[in-house]
Amino acid sequence: MSPTQPPSLDPPTRRRPTFSESYLTRRMAAVLLLGFSSGLPLALTGDTLALWLTDHGMKLAEIGAFAAVGTPYMLKFLWAPFLDRFAPPVLGRLLGARRGWIVAAQLVLAVATIALASCDPAASIGLLASAAIAVAFASATQDIVIDAWRTETLREDEAAPGASVHVTGYRIGMLASGAGALLLRGPAGFSWSATYLACGALLTVGLVGAFLAPSPERTSPPATIADAVVLPFREFWARRGAWFVLAFILLFKLPDVIAGAMTMPFLRQTGIPLEQIASVRQGLGVFVTIAGTLAGGFVAARVGLRRALWIYGILQAVSNLAFWGLAVAGPSLGALTGAVIVENFCAGLVTAGFLGFLQRQCSPALAATQFALLTSLMALPRTFVGAPAGWLADRLGWPAFFAVSALFGIPGLLLLPWLDERRLGHSPDAPAPAPEGAAL
């Protein structure tokens, strides 16, 4: 393919990979371990931290204020250009820019987690908040570089399988620092400090993943920090139909976002007991989502990303009707289980395909910044649709609400032909390849 011919949404026609070729490789093993390392810190500054503060008798308003320690996850695009431009001084020479930053972030994350475990909420709440922010900052930095490493390392036909394996590892990491931490604190009788230290020890999984990960053939980084800030935007807007990509990112997951904003209120108002919500939606649902994510990556590798997005987009919308069926049938364990299995499996399919699509939109040399920006854009609908979704549910009632929410999948599907026809890909102005370890 000539440098002026950007790649299509699907790779060139060739033999489709088998399951073992898609998943049982060194690259995918590294993706799984790094995904685990990305998911592990999230609860340590979220739900698990909130329970720790609750145990110490902190006021609810103060606990709520601690949600702000997660701000680095939303602002990670601000320092992503620095990670595109520079390599860490020593680790960069030993491991290459991407893997060097991954290990550096993991080391800082380990130190910050130990510091957090050493804090006493009763003695210094400010010190604990500072340590939690440091954990979130190091975790967000790790996420930036792991996403960039996947973009540079995985082939086009590995994008969706790689996304599914990453999400699988991510969710297992969340379980370890969420449900796993509660088991250590409760039945096992660990103190909160010991619980956090045990979770911190699991960060060694990410270090193994970083050293197992093959080094990508590094493309030339931006020449200056100014270029690192400007080039990701200029390169993206130079592509044909960039507006269609942005619109697709905002619209494709609307059925899931709208229904998801009201799912928990619906379950409670319907009379589903809390223990059933916990065991079925929060327990079984996680494993069903993982199964759907793995299936989604494999199907995309077999049929191509564009066809997979058509399939997943339709299934995503139709899956909302599972909750319509629950609303009509009324509260029962069987109906709840069926609705959760259908909805979560389809959500896993969509996650694999959509993250694979986002990865394909990033130029390797600028991947840290572009992926951070695109994922921030992807999160915008979740911030703004809550109030409209609540208004819609109030006006329509639960059965009609879930039926109508399925219709919000139509705009995203209508954009798919445009994405394929315009053969969206990287701009010919993207920096030329250079060997890994080149001077930065």
Q: Give residues with Cβ within 8 angstroms of 331, minimum separation 6.
A: 270, 271, 272
Indicate if 319 and 411 belong to the same structural domain: yes
The residue out of 160, 181, 216 marking a domain boundary is 216
Indicate if 154 and 183 belong to the same structural domain: yes
Indicate if 329 and 389 belong to the same structural domain: yes
Whether residue 30 has pLDDT greater than 80 = yes
Indicate if 204 and 348 belong to the same structural domain: no
Whether residue 2 has pLDDT greater than 80 = no
Report the domain count for the chain: 2
Between 7-16, 172-181, 221-230, the lowest mean confidence (pLDDT) is in: 7-16
In a domain, 160, yes or no: yes
CA distance 281 to 283: 6
List 15's β-bridge partners, or say none.
Answer: none
Q: Nearest Cα to 117, choosing from 104, 142, 134? A: 134
Whether residue 264 has pLDDT greater than 80 = no
Whether residue 275 has pLDDT greater than 90 = no
Q: What pLDDT is recorded for position 115?
A: 94
CA distance 261 to 258: 5
Between the ranges 73-82, 210-219, 296-305, where is the mean pLDDT highest? 73-82
Indicate if 309 and 261 belong to the same structural domain: yes
In a domain, 96, yes or no: yes
3-class SS of residue 219:
strand
CA distance 48 to 52: 6
CA distance 376 to 174: 20
Q: What pLDDT is recorded for position 360?
A: 83
Q: What pLDDT is recorded for position 132?
A: 93
Query: Based on the number of CB atoms within 10 Å of its own CB, is 241 exposed (0-12), middle (13-18) or buried (19 or more)?
Result: middle
The residue out of 155, 182, 216 marking a domain boundary is 216
Indicate if 344 and 301 belong to the same structural domain: yes
Whether residue 13 has pLDDT greater than 80 = no
pTM confidence score: 0.75
**C-alpha distance from residue 408 to each of 71, 177, 320, 388 (Å):** 29, 34, 11, 13
Indicate if 256 and 205 belong to the same structural domain: no
pLDDT in tens, 349-362: 888 888 888 888 88
Q: What pLDDT is recorded for position 431?
A: 40
Average pLDDT of span 293-300: 85
pLDDT in tens, 369-415: 888 888 878 877 776 776 788 888 888 999 999 999 999 999 989 98
Indicate if 236 and 182 belong to the same structural domain: no
Indicate if 233 and 210 belong to the same structural domain: no
Indicate if 39 and 79 belong to the same structural domain: yes
Q: At what angle do helices 386-396 and 367-384 cross, to 10 degrees?
A: 30
Average pLDDT of span 298-306: 83
Whether residue 423 has pLDDT greater than 60 = no
Range of the domain at 385: 229-421
Q: At what angle do helices 242-251 and 410-421 cross, to 10 degrees?
A: 150
CA distance 349 to 359: 16
Between 16-25, 294-303, 365-374, the lowest mean confidence (pLDDT) is in: 16-25
Q: Nearest Cα to 323, choosing from 380, 387, 249, 262? A: 262
In a domain, 6, yes or no: no
pLDDT in tens, 49-76: 888 888 888 776 777 777 788 888 888 8
In a domain, 265, yes or no: yes
In a domain, 253, yes or no: yes
Indicate if 128 and 173 belong to the same structural domain: yes
**Mean pLDDT value across the chain:** 82
Between 112-121, 153-162, 203-212, 240-249, the lowest mean confidence (pLDDT) is in: 153-162
The residue out of 216, 241, 261 marking a domain boundary is 216
Average pLDDT of span 141-154: 90
Indicate if 310 and 205 belong to the same structural domain: no
State percent of the chain over pLDDT 90: 25
- Give DSSP secondary structure letters for 260-299: HHHHHHHHHHHT--HHHIIIIIIIIHHHHHHHHHHHHHHH
In a domain, 45, yes or no: yes
In a domain, 155, yes or no: yes
In a domain, 325, yes or no: yes
CA distance 120 to 404: 49
CB 282 within 8 A of CB 407: no
The CATH number for 410's domain is 1.20.1250.20
User: Residue 3 belongs to what H/E stretch?
Assistant: none
Indicate the length of the chain as a whole number. Answer: 440
Cα-Cα end-to-end distance for the chain: 28
Which two tokens mark 288?
Answer: 């069903």
CA distance 13 to 26: 24
